[in-house]
Structure 1
Amino acid sequence: MGALLADVSELSFAKAQDVLPGLAGGLRDGRVVPYLGPQLLTAANPDIPATPEALAAFFQSKVALPSRARGNAWAAAQYIESTRHRATVTALMAEAFATPAKPTDLHHMLAALDLPLIVDSWYDGAMRSALETRDGWGEIQGITRAGIGEDQWYRFYDRSGEKTDVAAATCWKTILYKPHGGIVPARNFLISDADYVEVLTEIDIQTPIPEMVRDRRTEHGFLFFGCRFHDQLLRTYARQIMKRSAGPHYVIVDPADTLTRNEARFLAAQEIIPISATVEEAAGMMLEAA
């Protein structure tokens, strides 16, 4: 593991033009796993919350929140769940993501590559939409265990959105893995603090992560696209999903974003190489090289 940083300024950035063409080749060859975050949606989907903070603001616009829950999507959802009911949280999430997400050109590029694994860490349906015209893929979504009466961490859905099982999933050439759930096809959402209690208790031993995801990451590196790691929950999930993968790993970092000290230390500790570029710039370079 890399040494922890004493200061954010010690983080060494790669030049986009030096590494993105090679990463595009790695995607074509199936050696790189794309790990998509909400910032990928910003330009194409202005009506959809594109950061956890934007989602927290949406909650606050619908429900009067105490100061401790403002600005934090997970705490806001927990407060609403505790005071109103889980159904209210689900309804608000459905409202926040009601506008069908338009896939970007990058989504379409990824969909055309027959990648073994795509990780999508936000709740929108853009990646699923881009994949819909293809055969040979399916989706695994994390689910809340609160009140469902099932001993499950995730569910399987085929390309038509029908619930299926692990036997069918073994035949998929491409797995779309949404660890936090998603608006489509079934409104599965891990969003409240209560949703994450059991997951975070066991995620270090990998139980909540599907075995076929663990298998497919082994010989790969990850490219984090549209992601931030300024929240401990986001760092925990990324660290556990990339666990025991081969690397190297890269993350697109918008020059306008100010990395927190914990965020920079996370990148250093996990040996994730930052690339200085906006999402739009990086996507354009990847498309040119594809």
Structure 2
Amino acid sequence: MNTHPLQEIATGLAVGTVVPYLGPDVLKLEPATCPVPATPTDLVKLLASKVSVPHKIRNNLTAAAQFIENFKHRKTVVSLMNEAFAPGVQPNTLHRYLAGLTKKPLLIVDAWYDAAMAQALASRGNWGQIQGVSQAEHFGEWVHYFDDKGNPVEAKEADTWHIVLYKPLGSIIPEKNFIISDSDFVEVLTEIDIQTPIPPRVQELRTGANFLFLGCRFNNQLTRTYARQVMKRSSDKHWAVIEGPLTRMEQKFLSEQNITRIDMPLAKFTAWLQSGQTCRALAV
């Protein structure tokens, strides 16, 4: 195993040139303490258990959410998402490690609906959260801004935060915003190529940065599109910690975006980050 990228990652995190990009699989690090859906498959199963969904879309999260929105109203979708993520998730070792990074300013991207990363940051001062919002509920708006107490603030406040937590799909707290249905994504994807839905502060902080994908898989088009657009105009070197075989489309995406795959369990990678050991310790 080539350990050189690991040292680059550790150094980049320490000096603030690496942007952590978290996917839902981060919640699998401590599954015993995770009472909320930790994968799109888990979430669509939960939604389909609450509302009857046609068999052909029962495994398609965005299509199932759209069906519920069409036939049971948008409020039903929001209510089900609230129910799914209301139990909350305690921050795990990775969340706590990232919350402890001290280089300023720091951008963290978290592409799932839980609030664990926000809770890990709760003890830090001068940070804030930028949430993607649905056009179905906030027509003409793409994001909302919240300070470290969860209070709505103006976009200009984000320029002063030491840590920016960007939740492109929304989150259960503080305002319960969810980009989840087909129509939600159509609205965003119509504009995302010209970067309109990406907050200016995020665009600024990503410039020249390296992205580190943790708990992410790129086996569907939406995941790839979001990652590609959030990374736009950053650096030309990135990493993804993904264990095991990749799909053909994942391999293609990683190659196109110059993302080096670190083939190892996320738990092992996280333990190494916490330990501060040299990369040699992982060359097994």
TM-score (norm 1): 0.91
User: CA shift at 1:43, angstroms?
Assistant: 3.5
User: CA shift at 1:247, angstroms?
Assistant: 3.5
Q: 2:92 pairs with 98, 104, 107, which one? A: 104
Distance 2:76 2:39 in 1: 21
Q: Are residue 216 (structure 1) and residue 205 (structure 2) matched? A: yes
- Partner of residue 122, structure 2: 132
Trace 1:162-241 onto structure 2 (pairs within 5 A).
162-241=151-230
RCO greater where, 1 or 2, for CA within 8 Å and sep 6 or more?
1
Greater than 6 Å deviation, 4+ residue runs: none
- Partner of residue 144, structure 1: 134
- Partner of residue 269, structure 1: 256
Q: 1:91 pairs with 70, 73, 79, which one? A: 79
Q: 2:39 pairs with 51, 55, 60, which one? A: 51
Query: Match of 1:199, SS?
Result: helix
After superposition, the C-alpha distances for 1:5-60 in whole angstroms (9 at most, x for unaligned) are xxxxxxxxx64x44323312211100100000111111424321111111111111
The count of aligned residue pairs is: 273
Q: Which runs of 5+ in 1 are unaligned?
A: 1-13
Contact 1:21 1:285 in 2 (8 A): no
Query: Match of 2:66, SS?
Result: helix
Query: Match of 1:224, SS?
Result: strand
Distance 2:263 2:153 in 1: 40
Q: Which runs of 5+ in 2 are unaligned?
A: 278-284
Q: Are residue 21 (structure 1) and residue 7 (structure 2) matched? A: yes
Query: Match of 1:251, SS?
Result: strand
Q: 1:63 pairs with 51, 58, 61, which one? A: 51
TM-score (norm 2): 0.93
Distance 2:236 2:128 in 1: 25
Structure 2 counterpart of 1:30, one-letter code = G
Distance 1:254 1:57 in 2: 24
Structure 2 counterpart of 1:63, one-letter code = V
Distance 1:42 1:105 in 2: 11
Counting aligned pairs with the same residue, the percent is: 47
CA RMSD, Structure 1 to Structure 2 (Å): 1.4
User: CA shift at 1:147, angstroms?
Assistant: 4.0
